[in-house]
């Protein structure tokens, strides 16, 4: 899996969450549903239990409903914990983007790009159906993420069919509390952790991945592994990501995964201590590899079983 594609999966949720707010317009083709998806763990601490599910931030209608163990655990839970609540109002996303996603006056903007590269960017913005007058005010990593989201939508993978969207709707229908583990602002603030040159490199890598078809093929591989709960394939994806020693690869592993994993684990331990039965759902790559959320929970004395 190429670096920009991995980063897309990790950074996408703050954007896909807004699409999920509206809910899907229709059910699409006949559902398959009921199959094992992603990765599933059971966490136990002092007689309290938590089902920990690895999500995909985009999806298709045929992925739902999720298999009975997840639906049953959710029905019995007091709380569903998610990275971000998908029912975010548009105003919250707009505030976060204004605070963390906009180019800073005085920094290089897209007019400083080489002319050939700018033409490529303009073509991808047009292909993705994005508003150039708006997105060219965004920081390069945010624009790269929007380009990737547009490409995933073109391939039939939609934010309003994310795992989180289905889980949150199901939880609310059962009067289960939905708890945010992070915030839109916290997620978007990660864009500033790359240096300015690295941000432009990130955008160029994403453009190349879309143009070459690599994003499309990697998306299919990731979605296939998640949708079939292919443990071997998912673990291999996580291992390849962790072995990446490039600048952007190290940023993904150090900041977008491991740093966030520590904070997620701390909050999940507190929830597990406080409530008897809960469900938590975070992006599947947070649950795999070294420094994963399950590994960190084990370090804190939580008993962990990987179900699949």
Task: With beta carbons less than 8 A apart as the criterion, state whether 43 and 50 touch.
Answer: yes
For range 194-206, the mean pLDDT = 89
Name which residue leads in pLDDT, 114 or 160. 114
Tell me which DSSP letter residue 105 carries.
T
C-alpha distances in angstroms, 288 versus 51, 104, 139?
Answer: 15, 36, 29
Q: What is the DSSP string of 3-57?
A: HHHHHHHHHTHHHHHHHHHH--S---SPP--SS--SEEEEEEETTEEEEEEEE-S
Q: Which residues of 6-29 are buried (b: 16+ CB within 10 A; e: fewer)?
A: bbbbbbbbbbbbbbbbeebeeeee
C-alpha distances in angstroms, 20 versus 122, 160, 163, 165, 177?
Answer: 27, 4, 10, 6, 18
Tell me which DSSP letter residue 256 carries.
I
pTM of the predicted structure, to 2 decimals: 0.88
- Model confidence at 56: pLDDT above 90: yes
**pLDDT above 90 coverage of the chain, percent:** 59
Tokens of residue 52, six digits = 């920990």
How confident is the model at residue 28, as a pLDDT?
43
- Model confidence at 2: pLDDT above 80: no
pLDDT tens, residue by residue, 57-86: 989 999 999 999 999 999 999 999 999 998
At residue 256 the predicted structure's pLDDT band, cuts being 50, 70 and 90, is: confident
- Model confidence at 264: pLDDT above 70: yes
């Amino acid at each position: 899996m190429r670096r920009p594609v991995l980063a897309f999966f990790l950074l996408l949720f703050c954007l896909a969450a807004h699409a999920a707010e509206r809910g899907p317009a229709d059910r699409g083709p006949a559902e398959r549903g009921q199959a094992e998806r992603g990765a599933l763990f059971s966490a136990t601490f002092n007689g309290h239990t938590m089902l920990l599910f690895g999500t995909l931030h985009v999806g298709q209608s045929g992925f739902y409903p999720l298999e009975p163990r997840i639906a049953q655990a959710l029905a019995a839970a007091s709380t569903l914990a998610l990275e971000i609540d998908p029912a975010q109002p548009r105003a919250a996303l707009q505030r976060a983007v204004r605070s963390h996603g906009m180019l800073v006056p005085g920094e290089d903007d897209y007019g400083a790009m080489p002319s050939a590269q700018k033409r490529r960017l303009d073509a991808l913005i047009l292909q993705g159906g994005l508003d150039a007058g708006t997105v060219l005010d965004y920081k390069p990593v945010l624009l790269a993420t929007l380009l990737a989201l547009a490409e995933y939508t073109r391939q039939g993978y939609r934010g309003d069919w994310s795992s989180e969207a289905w889980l949150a709707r199901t939880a609310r229908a059962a009067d289960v509390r939905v708890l945010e583990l992070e915030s839109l602002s916290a997620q978007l603030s990660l864009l500033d952790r790359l240096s300015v040159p690295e941000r432009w490199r990130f955008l160029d890598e994403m453009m190349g991945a879309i143009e070459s078809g690599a994003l499309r093929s990697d998306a299919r591989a990731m979605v296939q592994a998640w949708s079939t709960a292919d443990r071997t394939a998912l673990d291999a994806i996580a291992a390849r990501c962790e072995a990446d020693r490039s600048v952007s690869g190290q940023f993904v592993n150090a900041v977008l995964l491991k740093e966030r994993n520590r904070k997620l684990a701390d909050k999940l331990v507190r929830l597990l201590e406080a409530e008897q039965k809960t469900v938590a759902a975070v992006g599947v790559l947070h649950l795999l590899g070294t420094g994963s959320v399950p590994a960190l929970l084990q370090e804190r004395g939580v008993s962990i079983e990987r179900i699949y």
